[in-house]
């Protein structure tokens, strides 16, 4: 998350309340949105992502092909 986003979001315990996420609504309808940071449970951790990439499977899913997560 960019420094501006972190500063703009209300922070509790050093964790921002919101984050940016790509939300898939339908094939070719992906939107960048501000969403709530997930609440973590007692045996869970929250990982801050600095960067990510896409692969050919992501492009195919964007175009409407069935997606198989976790390969």
50 bridge partner residues: none
Q: Tell me whether strands 18-26 and 29-36 are parallel, antiparallel or unpaired.
A: antiparallel
**pLDDT, tens only, 21-55:** 989 888 888 899 999 999 889 999 988 888 988 88
Record the tokens describing residue 10, joined without a space: 């209300």
Q: Is the pLDDT of residue 4 over 80?
A: no
pLDDT score, position 3: 53
pTM for this model (two decimals): 0.60
Domain residue spans of the chain: 3-62
């Amino acid at each position: 998350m960019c420094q501006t986003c972190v500063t703009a979001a209300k922070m509790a315990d050093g964790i921002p309340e919101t984050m940016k996420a790509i939300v898939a609504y339908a094939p070719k309808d992906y939107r960048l949105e501000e969403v709530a940071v997930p609440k973590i449970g007692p045996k869970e951790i929250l990982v801050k992502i600095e960067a990510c990439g896409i692969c050919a499977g992501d492009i195919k899913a964007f175009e409407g092909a069935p997606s198989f997560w976790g390969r």
